């Protein structure tokens, strides 16, 4: 069943400037202490914004990439179509290389590239106008998808439920509502109350900095825990459901999400707590057969050794292994909540039926 999204919703995290020549984002790396906006139009600064998680979360990265390519393309408005195409392709390959795991980045880049390819004989100004429209469409579609995901997810929740979430899959990470946080935000709007446990999410603390910020702002009862406390709150009987986002869902239902997600899912299964991942079709990658085929981003060891601390909390050169994501096996999942409804096992068959 489709639910009607209210008309007055506007995404706050990513938008175009009034002259449409720049993209304006909330700098997620400054939250929760400062709400700062960045105004960007250079390919290098857009690449950096993705790489350094100023804009982050799978759907938000895709939306931002589309706007980034649109504002970049406008700088070549006086080029011939051949020159424009060459520059465009190089810039889009460069942006696509900023982060490998969330499939939404390459998905959005491909959508815009298709427009450029389809209009090889057209005018540059026409192509640029179409790119702008497509970027706005991607954002609008994401809002609709998030709203549907929130509605489907909410159908699983009861008044007073305890929900554990990992990382941040709220409005900041998407366009509005978010994915994993959507049902809680929508439920709160409808007068329901939940008790949410937010894992802090080492090493970049998206749970501590962003999830608690977004849920508190919405008036939702949220308790911050360290990642290694999840089993205790589960054992205490405080968690009825685990809701997490995703960065890429493979054809068999395995999914990549923030490092630590698979551990949470294993614990939840031990305590017989159902685990759901929530994501839009832009995160479903049927061309990737299993989780083993998902590229996993490795990040700077200093995110573990020194970041957030006044002094380093590890010997200066101690080797660190810092995968940014892990893959949760589909056998640990109760369901995948998408804009088209809740997908239950067998995932391979049911995902193909709904999304191929």
- The set of catalytic residues is 247
Q: Is residue 102 near ligand MRU by the rule CB under 6 A? A: yes
Helix or strand holding residue 269 (H, E): helix 261-270
Between 161 and 247, name the residue whose CB sits nearer to ligand MRU.
247
Total number of residues that touch ligand MRU (CB under 6 A): 19
What is the smallest separation between the CB atom of 159 and ligand MRU, expressed in angstroms?
25
What Å distances lie between residue 261 and 117, 196, 221, 320, 323, CA to CA? 38, 16, 22, 19, 12
Find the shortest distance in angstroms from Cβ 57 to ligand MRU.
4
From 116-124, 130-138, 217-225, 240-248, give the range in contact with ligand MRU by CB under 6 A.
240-248
From 52-60, 211-219, 220-228, 327-335, span contacting ligand MRU (CB under 6 A): 52-60
Q: Rounded to the nearest 5°, which phi and psi values hold at 249?
A: -110, 120
Q: Is 169 in the site for ligand MRU (CB under 6 A)?
A: yes
Please identify the residue of the shown chain whose CB is closest to the bound ligand MRU.
245
Q: Which of 11, 57, 62, 187 binds ligand MRU (CB under 6 A)?
A: 57
Q: Is the Cβ–Cβ distance between 36 and 257 less than 8 Å?
A: no
Residue range at the interface with ligand MRU (CB under 6 A); choices 2-10, 49-57, 86-94, 284-292: 49-57
Instruction: Classify strands 241-244 and 275-278 as parallel, antiparallel or unpaired.
Output: parallel
User: Measured in whole angstroms, how far is the alpha carbon of residue 297 from the centre of its chain?
Assistant: 15
Work out whether 214 is an interface residue with ligand MRU (CB under 6 A): no
Query: Cα 36 from chain centroid?
Result: 20
Residue 341 C-beta: closest distance to ligand MRU, Å? 18
**Considering the complex, what minimum distance in angstroms separates the CB of residue 102 from ligand MRU?**
6
* Burial class of residue 223, CB neighbours in 10 A (0-12, 13-18, 19+): middle
Pairwise CA distance, residues 203 & 199, whole Å: 11
Cβ atoms of 99 and 65 within 8 Å: the answer is no
Per CB under 6 A, the list member of 56, 152, 195, 241 interacting with ligand MRU is: 56
SS3 of residue 253 by DSSP: coil
Measured at the CA of 160, the angle between CA 158 and CA 162, to 5 degrees, comes to 90
Q: How many CA atoms lie within 13 A of 212 on its CB side?
A: 18
Residue 147 C-beta: closest distance to ligand MRU, Å = 14
- Give the residues lining the site for ligand MRU (CB under 6 A): 53, 56-59, 102, 167, 169, 173-174, 178-179, 206, 245-247, 257-258, 324
């Amino acid at each position: 069943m489709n639910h009607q999204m209210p008309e007055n919703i506007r995404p706050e995290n990513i938008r175009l400037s009034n002259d449409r020549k720049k993209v304006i984002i909330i700098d997620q790396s400054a939250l929760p202490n400062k709400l700062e906006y960045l105004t960007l139009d250079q390919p290098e600064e857009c690449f950096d914004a993705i790489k350094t998680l100023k804009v982050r979360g799978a759907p938000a990265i895709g939306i931002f990439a589309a706007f980034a390519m649109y504002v970049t393309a406008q700088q070549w408005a006086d080029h011939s179509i051949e020159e424009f195409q060459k520059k465009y392709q190089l810039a889009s390959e460069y942006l696509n290389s900023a982060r490998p795991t969330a499939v939404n980045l390459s998905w959005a880049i491909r959508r815009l590239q298709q427009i450029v390819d389809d209009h090889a004989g057209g005018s540059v100004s026409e192509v640029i106008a179409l790119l702008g429209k497509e970027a706005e469409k991607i954002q609008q579609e994401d809002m609709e998808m998030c709203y549907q995901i929130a509605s489907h997810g909410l159908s699983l929740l009861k008044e007073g439920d305890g929900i554990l979430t990992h990382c941040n899959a709220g409005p900041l990470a998407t366009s509005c509502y978010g994915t994993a946080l959507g049902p809680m935000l929508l439920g709160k709007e409808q007068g329901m109350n939940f008790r949410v446990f937010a894992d802090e999410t080492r090493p970049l603390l998206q749970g501590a900095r962003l999830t608690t910020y977004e849920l508190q702002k919405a008036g939702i009862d949220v308790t911050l825990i360290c990642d290694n406390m999840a089993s205790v709150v589960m054992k205490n009987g405080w968690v009825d459901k685990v809701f997490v986002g995703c960065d890429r869902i493979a054809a068999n239902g395995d999914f990549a999400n923030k490092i630590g997600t698979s551990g949470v899912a294993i614990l939840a299964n031990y305590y017989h707590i159902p685990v759901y991942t929530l994501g839009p079709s832009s995160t479903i990658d049927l061309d990737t057969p299993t989780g083993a085929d998902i590229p996993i981003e490795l990040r700077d060891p200093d995110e573990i050794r020194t970041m957030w601390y006044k002094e380093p909390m590890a010997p200066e050169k101690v080797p660190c292994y810092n995968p940014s994501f892990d893959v949760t096996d589909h056998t640990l999942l109760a369901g995948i909540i998408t804009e088209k409804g809740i997908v239950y096992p067998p995932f391979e068959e049911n995902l193909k039926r709904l999304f191929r």
